[in-house]
Amino acid sequence: MEQIFTGKSSAEAIEAGLRELGVSREDVEIEILEEGKKKLFGSTPAKVKLTVKELTDGQRAVRFLEGLLPLLGSEAQPKLAGEDEKIVIELDADTAKGIIGRRGEVIDAIQALAGAVANTGRKEYKRVVVDCGNYREEREETLKRVAEKLAAKAVRTGKRVRLEPMNPYERRIIHSALADSTEVYTKSEGKEPSRFVVIIPKNAKPFERGERGGRKNDRGGRGGKKYGDRPKYGSERKKQYEHRELPSEATPETSGTSFNRGGTAGYKKGGFTGFFGTFLGNSNEEEEKPETAPTEPTEE
């Protein structure tokens, strides 16, 4: 993008052009077309042509951080250290503690944002590293020591060892540190942002059911009783009742349980054959036969 600006002098014209374009002097190519001249009557203004340079991916990321860091209350100054195989941005600050944060949480967040800006419009992702006070190198050495120590523990115990959740950059360091190991291998599990690395020994013991408590029975479970030894549902717990003979006569009306359908007391043919309740008579008296309802006369 090229634009021409004027002013009383070339310096004034350049400053006016930088303000209007919103760029710094390093981001433009300057060409002076005409120097300002004073005449006896009036003057000739100076003319300059400013051409905005196309920013590289790293430069765009640095420009973004220059606007972001003041919003975070930091006075750190970002500088582009390199952008060949990867983009490296150094943060120059008086104290690195505030810009790094607990376990690198702040600087990791800044790095993620810078990476998103640098890779905007790119077909292939380019790695971006934001460092401050040599933190990245020291952190990498620490992770390598931790990886070797936990790998030895996994081999000694024959069990998997799970590390704390890490960002993709730190997980990559763990994988690389143990990539050539003949005793363990690694893999990542979980979902972001809680994804973590698991170190698995090649001599890992197979998991056996019932090994955490109780002796194993013939079926591989815990406890001394087999499943087949249990009584089937209701087979042994079902309460046995003695057989009860039902009376062949009609149910007494005094018991309050007889059926009176169509004026006929007693049982209905082919229907209910039992009775409810108890007979309300005197057990000491002589048993009487129940009265039967009179039959209707038939017409001759």
Give the 3-state DSSP-derived string for 191-233, with helices as H, strands as E and coil as C.
Answer: CCCCCEEEEEECCCCCCCCCCCCCCECCCCCECCCCHHHCCCC
Residue where a domain terminates, one of 170, 186, 201: 201
Residue where a domain terminates, one of 201, 220, 241: 201
Instruction: Say which residue, 10 or 198, is predicted with more confidence.
Output: 198
Residues 171 and 184 in one domain: yes
Residues 157 and 168 in one domain: yes
Is there a domain that residue 210 lies in? Answer: no
CATH code, domain with 140: 3.30.1370.50
Query: Phi and psi of 14, rounded to 5°?
Result: -65, -45
Residue 242, pLDDT above cutoff 70: no
Q: How confident is the model over 24-47, as pLDDT tens digits?
A: 787 788 888 888 777 666 678 888
Residues 62 and 129 in one domain: yes
Is there a domain that residue 285 lies in? Answer: no
The count of other CB atoms within 10 Å of the CB of residue 39 is 7
Is there a domain that residue 13 lies in? Answer: yes
Residues 128 and 142 in one domain: no
Is there a domain that residue 287 lies in? Answer: no
Q: Given pLDDT bands bounded at 50, 70 and 90, which one contains residue 283?
A: very low
- CB neighbour list of residue 6: distance below 8 Å, 6 or more residues apart: 13, 16, 45, 46, 47, 48
Domain containing residue 144: 136-201
Full-model pTM: 0.53
Residues 153 and 173 in one domain: yes
Residues 121 and 144 in one domain: no
Total domains present in the chain: 3
Mean pLDDT of 218-235: 50
Q: How confident is the model over 76-97, as pLDDT tens digits?
A: 899 999 888 899 999 998 877 7
| DSSP class per residue in the chain | -EEEEEESSHHHHHHHHHHHHT--GGGEEEEEEE--EE-SSSEE-EEEEEEEPPPPHHHHHHHHHHHHHHHTT---EEEEEEESSSEEEEEE-S-SHHHH-GGGHHHHHHHHHHHHHHTTT-SS---EEEESTTHHHHHHHHHHHHHHHHHHHHHHHTS-EEPPP--HHHHHHHHHHTTT-SSEEEEEES-TTS-EEEEEETTPPPP-TTTTSS-B-TTSSBSSS-GGGSPPTTTTTSPP----PPPSSPPPGGGT----BTTB-SPPTTS-----S---S-TTSPP-PPP-PPPPPPP-
Which pLDDT score, from 0 to 100, does residue 27 have?
Answer: 78
Residues 18 and 42 in one domain: yes
Is there a domain that residue 152 lies in? Answer: yes
CATH code, domain with 128: 3.30.300.20
Residue where a domain terminates, one of 76, 108, 133: 133
- Using alpha carbons, select from 81, 132, 88 the residue that is nearest to residue 114: 88
Residues 40 and 78 in one domain: no
80 bridge partner residues: 89
Residues 119 and 151 in one domain: no
Q: Are 125 and 142 in contact (CB under 8 A)?
A: no
Is there a domain that residue 283 lies in? Answer: no
Q: Are 88 and 72 in contact (CB under 8 A)?
A: no
Average pLDDT score, the chain: 75
Q: Which two tokens stand for residue 227?
A: 């499943």
Residues 165 and 118 in one domain: no
Q: Are 181 and 208 in contact (CB under 8 A)?
A: no
Is there a domain that residue 103 lies in? Answer: yes
Residues 72 and 125 in one domain: yes
Which pLDDT score, from 0 to 100, does residue 146 have?
Answer: 94
Is there a domain that residue 231 lies in? Answer: no
Mean pLDDT of 250-275: 48
Phi-psi region of 22 (alpha: psi -120 to 50; beta: other; left: phi over 0): left
Which pLDDT score, from 0 to 100, does residue 183 have?
Answer: 93
